[in-house]
Structure 1
Amino acid sequence: MTNTKITNFIQFNGNNIATATGTGRFSSLTHDIELKAVPFTSDNPDAPTHRVFGKSPAGYELEVGGIWQGKNQQGGTKYTLHVKPLRLNANLGRFPGQDDDTLQAIIPWEDRN
């Protein structure tokens, strides 16, 4: 990505998102957070595929959420991001105007609960 002002993305370091590390940014009118997604393995089928970290104002890396793998309506793989302190729920999907599957847009959605 050449534009450093692009927000709401995670760039993974490999095509297999389930096992790739990613870095990105989520911005809104009230928040601007750099994210790091680190693969996570567990025997629990409901566990996330990644732990997600953000930085505190003092620069400390804190765990803020996770990424879960699921199935979309067509039966394909989808990934869902949750960042608890921001109450952010989002799907990950190909970033608009890009052919790079490792660049995933953060597409927020409202929690129904």
Structure 2
Amino acid sequence: MATNCIKFTSADIETAKGTGSISTLTLDLDITIEPVASTNPMASTHRVLGRSPRGKLVECGGIWKKQNKETGADYFTLIICDHGFNASLGRAASQDDLSLQAVIPWGPKGAA
């Protein structure tokens, strides 16, 4: 699998599990994605799990469903907490498979 992508078990991302990887100059993680059931509209839709240096699976972030204020379209964002990594998920380049999502990094608000 290409880096900076998540492969979900179905195109219904909101309820699907997934696996993927995120690589930058300072971060290199294989991740596991697990859906979260919650009635809280502010809760994450997924837990993001990575491996500790000793190989233990630990929660390291989350995925949230958001809505574009201009178009009303739904989209997903991903955060890796310990590294301050923020990204949006979107269709991977040259892919028609909606279950394959590219991890598209963006900086924190107020960053230069």
Superposition TM-score tier, normalisation by shorter sequence: over 0.9
The CA deviation string for residues 48-86 of structure 1, in whole angstroms up to 9 with x for no partner, is 000110011211000001000011231111000011011
In structure 2, which of residues 99, 105, 108 is the aligned counterpart of residue 108 of structure 1? 105
Other-structure match for 2:72: 75
In structure 1, which of residues 50, 55, 60 is the aligned counterpart of residue 51 of structure 2? 55
Alignment of 1:7-22 (within 5 A): 7-22=3-18
How many residues were matched structurally? 109
Other-structure match for 2:22: 26
TM-score normalised per structure 2? 0.93
Quote the Cα distance in structure 2 between the aligned partners of 1:86 and 1:104: 21
Q: CA RMSD in A?
A: 1.0
More off after superposition, 16-25 vs 72-81: 72-81
Gaps of 5+ in 1: none
Quote the Cα distance in structure 2 between the aligned partners of 1:93 and 1:71: 13
Quote the Cα distance in structure 2 between the aligned partners of 1:108 and 1:86: 12
Secondary structure class of the residue paired with 2:82: helix
Quote the Cα distance in structure 2 between the aligned partners of 1:112 and 1:46: 19
TM-score normalised per structure 1? 0.92
Secondary structure class of the residue paired with 1:85: helix
Gaps of 5+ in 2: none
Greater than 2 Å deviation, 4+ residue runs:
none
